[in-house]
Amino acid sequence: MWQAWVNGIIGVYIFVVAFFGYGTTGNLWNDIIVGIVAAAIGFSMIKEKPWQGWLGAIVGIWLIIAAFIPSLLTFTGNEWNLIISGVLLMVAGFGALGKTSSGTTTTTNN
């Protein structure tokens, strides 16, 4: 399941990047916490539990929102880092929601 690997790798990336020259303490802790959560849900999403897809998408949305919180930004590159990482996490999280354990897509008939 590619979504699990995308979430896990982006989570590790966000965690590591938090230590590269960010000036504000709030941004450092935001990226550390979000990186750990994203990596944990991503690598555990391999078991294909729906709540992990939702949580991955929510973490992605938070990163996009955090990109526009002035106290968390130190430079423009940080803003784009959060936006791009957030969009990738959101897409992978929502993409994991329609899968079953056999890898087929689930549909509902109304």
In-domain check, residue 109: no
Residues ≥6 apart with Cβ < 8 Å to 58: 93
In-domain check, residue 102: no
The pLDDT of residue 103 is above 60 = no
In-domain check, residue 52: yes
In-domain check, residue 6: yes
In-domain check, residue 23: yes
Let me know: does 41 contact 55? Beta carbons within 8 Å: yes
The per-residue pLDDT for 24 is 59
Give me the number of domains the chain comprises: 1
Let me know: does 92 contact 6? Beta carbons within 8 Å: yes
| pLDDT per position as a tens digit, 13-71 | 888 887 776 555 667 787 888 888 888 877 776 666 667 777 878 888 888 888 787 77
Residue position matching structure tokens 């930004």: 73
Three-state secondary structure call for residue 26: helix
The CATH number linked to 85 is 1.20.1270
In-domain check, residue 50: yes
In-domain check, residue 100: no
- Parent domain of 67: 2-95
Residue position matching structure tokens 């294909």: 48
